[in-house]
Amino acid sequence: MAASEDSLRRALVEKQSTIESQGNAVRALKASNADKKAVDEAIEKLNALKLEKSSIEKQLQASVGGNPGSSVSKEAFRQAVVNTLVGRLFFIPSFKIYGGVAGLYDYGPPGCAVKSNVLAFWRQHFVLEENMLEVDCPCVTPEVVLKASGHVDKFTDLMVKDEKTGTCYRADHLLKDFCNEKIQKDLSISAEKAAELKHILAVLDDLSAEELGAKIKEYGITAPDTRNPLSDPYPFNLMFQTSIGPSGLSPGYMRPETAQGIFVNFKDLYYYNGNKLPFAAAQIGQAFRNEISPRQGLLRVREFTLAEIEHFVDPDDKSHPKYSEVADLEFLMFPREQQISGQSAKKTCLGEAVSKGIVNNETLGYFIGRVYLFLTSSWYR
Summarize pLDDT for 81-104 with one digit per residue, the tens.
888 999 999 999 999 999 888 899
Q: What is d(CA 95, CA 100) in angstroms, rounded to the nearest whole number? A: 5
So what's the pLDDT on residue 3? 58
Q: Which residues in the chain land under pLDDT 70?
A: 1-6, 61-74, 187, 296, 342, 379-381
So what's the pLDDT on residue 72? 46
Q: What is d(CA 57, CA 16) in angstroms, rounded to the nearest whole number? A: 11
Q: What is d(CA 252, CA 243) in angstroms, rounded to the nearest whole number? A: 5
So what's the pLDDT on residue 69? 42
Q: Which amino acid, 350? A: L
Count CB neighbours of 184 within 10 A.
Answer: 16
So what's the pLDDT on residue 186? 74
So what's the pLDDT on residue 63? 66
Report which of 177, 296, 291 is spatially closest to residue 225, judged by C-alpha positions: 177
So what's the pLDDT on residue 59? 78
So what's the pLDDT on residue 127? 97
Q: Which amino acid, 345? A: A
CA angle in degrees (0–180, nearest 5) for 108-110-114:
115
What is the β-pairing status of strands 330-333 and 168-170? unpaired
Non-local (6+) Cβ contacts of 75 within 8 A are none
| C-alpha separations of 258 from 279, 282, 287 in Å | 17, 9, 7
Phi-psi region of 220 (alpha: psi -120 to 50; beta: other; left: phi over 0): left
Task: Give yes or no for a contact between 141 and 289, defined as CB atoms under 8 angstroms apart.
Answer: no
Q: What is d(CA 353, CA 364) in angstroms, rounded to the nearest whole number? A: 11
Q: What is d(CA 137, CA 284) in angstroms, rounded to the nearest whole number? A: 9
Count CB neighbours of 262 within 10 A.
Answer: 22
Q: What is d(CA 172, CA 178) in angstroms, rounded to the nearest whole number? A: 10
315: DSSP letter: T
So what's the pLDDT on residue 350? 95
So what's the pLDDT on residue 115? 95
